[in-house]
């Protein structure tokens, strides 16, 4: 018979009535399952609206909504660098979160690692700390970003290269007992890192709440439209897509039927690099931020996710939802979901413009096969049961 435990679930993000933002969504579903098993102490988030969840939940502090509002207001008049502002918010969250740790907690289950004060207190009280990351190990990401910045001549810091934040992480992670790797790159990066605790592989995904739509039999036309959608920072790998596109244009003689559509905001340093190095690229439209994702997806023939690191990009799943074939890197968590059974994606190495070019050319020259790839992607997405993953994770926490 399993001993009943008190499990405190903590997420840095905010909570909404139906689930939550980012990893708070995972926190919402696992908290609901644990509550039904009689194991949940509370689900703690940064802020929470005026509604009730079907399980115990609360903001990290009754004042969090107010000090977050004040912080954002202050940052508007005296702007900080985004990575420094985020780190300030993480430190404040940690400070308040530590006050929620008591001797009545058996397991602290967290979705982010910047909780040094909280972890120290939990360890002192004999609380087991289990961490499920959204992304690969931080030093692994830092090495990729640092190398890429040297290559592109970008000197600006970001959240993954900010030394104070990395140092805070490295100190905090040593208090963690177990890291749960929910997709292969997360598991492998932690298993091969300096982390001395246990690394457990429990592969699973958060599935978006898409409105059901039937499979689309896409018409094959002479024009071939390739889509990319992200808020572009260096990790999104747009630089390799542009490099691949230039190679493709050279190889096809600037074929007018091949068109690339780039949607989403672009980080300032990345924008400078792209303007400096790819200003004259042919058959490319920079669309900027878009409000209607379905409208963007509906007339595309192929979707590209060239990320160097990406936890579980929803854009790849959105493309699959609309039956778009997906070309995605091996470091993107969604590739594991879409690549199951009859694969709905082609998975390529990171930083490989040649592979991106080859895959676009393959899809362009093999329209029927590419269309089937999109149908496979939709099938794999729709037949994946997120509930099974949540249940598997709850089973693990119950049996720890």
Taken in order of first residue, the domains within the chain and their CATH numbers are 7-207+385-399 (3.40.50.2000), 224-382 (3.40.50.2000)
Mean pLDDT of 114-141: 97
Looking up tokens 């993954």 gives: 160
The set of residues, in sequence order, having a beta carbon less than 8 Å from that of 394 and lying 6+ positions away, is 30, 33, 34, 37, 39
Averaged pLDDT, 195-218: 90
Residues 32-55 pLDDT 10s: 999 999 999 999 999 887 778 899
CA distances from 75 to 80, 84, 210 (A): 6, 11, 34
Residue 154 CA from chain centroid, whole number? 23
Structure confidence at residue 17 as a pLDDT band (50, 70, 90): low
Is 312 a residue whose pLDDT tops 90? no
Instruction: Point out the least confidently predicted range of 17-31, 215-229, 279-293, 352-366.
Output: 17-31
Cα gap 254→250, rounded to integer Å: 6
Q: Are 53 and 15 in contact (CB under 8 A)?
A: yes
Per-residue pLDDT at 233 exceeds 60: yes
Residue in 287, 233, 237, 291 with CA at minimum distance from that of residue 260 = 287
Q: How far apart are CA 248 and CA 127, in angstroms?
A: 55
Which is higher by pLDDT, 96 or 63? 96
Is the confidence at residue 352, as pLDDT, over 90? yes
Strand arrangement of the beta sheet that strand 345-348 belongs to: 284-288, 258-263, 224-229, 302-305, 326-329, 345-348
- The pLDDT score that the predictor gives to residue 18 is 61
**How does the average pLDDT of the chain come out, rounded?**
92
Which pLDDT belongs to residue 208? 84
> Which band of pLDDT confidence, cut at 50, 70 and 90, is reported for residue 19?
low
- Mean pLDDT for the stretch of residues 343-352: 95
Tell me how far apart the alpha carbons of residues 136 and 310 are, in angstroms, rounded to a whole number.
Answer: 8
Q: Sorting pLDDT into bands at 50, 70 and 90, what band is 3?
A: low
Q: Is the pLDDT of residue 319 over 50?
A: yes
Render pLDDT for 150-187 as a digit per residue (tens, 0 to 9): 999 988 888 899 999 999 999 999 999 999 999 999 99
Would the pLDDT of 26 be above 60?
Answer: yes
């Amino acid at each position: 018979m399993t001993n009943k435990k008190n499990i405190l679930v903590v997420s840095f993000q905010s909570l909404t009535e139906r689930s939550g933002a980012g990893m708070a969504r995972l926190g919402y579903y696992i908290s609901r399952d644990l509550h039904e098993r009689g194991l949940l102490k509370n689900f703690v988030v940064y802020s929470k609206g005026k509604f009730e969840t079907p399980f115990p939940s609360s903001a990290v502090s009754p004042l969090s909504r107010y000090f977050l509002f004040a912080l954002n207001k202050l940052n508007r008049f005296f702007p900080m660098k985004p990575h420094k502002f985020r780190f300030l918010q993480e430190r404040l969250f940690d400070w308040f979160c530590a006050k929620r740790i008591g001797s009545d907690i058996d397991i602290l289950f967290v979705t982010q690692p910047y909780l040094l004060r909280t972890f120290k207190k939990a360890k002192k009280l004999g609380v087991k700390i289990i961490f499920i990351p959204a992304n690969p190990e931080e030093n692994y990401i830092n090495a990729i970003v640092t190398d890429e910045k040297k290559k592109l001549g970008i000197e600006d810091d970001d959240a993954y290269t900010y030394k104070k934040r990395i140092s805070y992480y490295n100190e905090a992670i040593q208090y963690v007992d177990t890291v749960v790797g929910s997709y292969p790159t997360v598991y492998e990066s932690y298993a091969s890192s300096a982390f001395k605790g246990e690394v457990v592989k429990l592969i699973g995904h958060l599935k978006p709440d898409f409105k059901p739509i039937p499979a689309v039999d896409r018409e094959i036309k002479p024009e071939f439209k390739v889509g990319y959608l992200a808020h572009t920072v260096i990790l999104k790998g747009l630089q390799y897509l542009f490099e691949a596109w230039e190679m493709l244009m050279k190889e096809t003689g600037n074929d007018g039927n091949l068109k690339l559509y780039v949607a989403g905001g672009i980080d300032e340093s990345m924008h400078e690099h792209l303007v400096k190095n790819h200003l004259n690229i042919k058959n490319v439209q920079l669309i900027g931020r878009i409000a209607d994702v379905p409208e963007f997806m509906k007339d595309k023939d192929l979707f590209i996710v060239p990320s160097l690191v990406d936890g579980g990009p929803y854009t790849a799943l959105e493309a699959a939802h609309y039956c778009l074939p997906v070309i995605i890197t091996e470091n993107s968590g969604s590739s594991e979901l879409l690549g199951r059974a009859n694969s709905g994606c082609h998975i390529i190495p990171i930083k490989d413009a040649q592979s991106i070019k080859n895959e676009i050319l393959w899809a362009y020259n093999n329209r029927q096969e590419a269309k089937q790839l999109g149908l496979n992607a939709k099938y794999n997405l729709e037949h994946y049961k997120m509930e099974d993953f949540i249940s598997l994770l709850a089973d693990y926490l119950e049996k720890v």
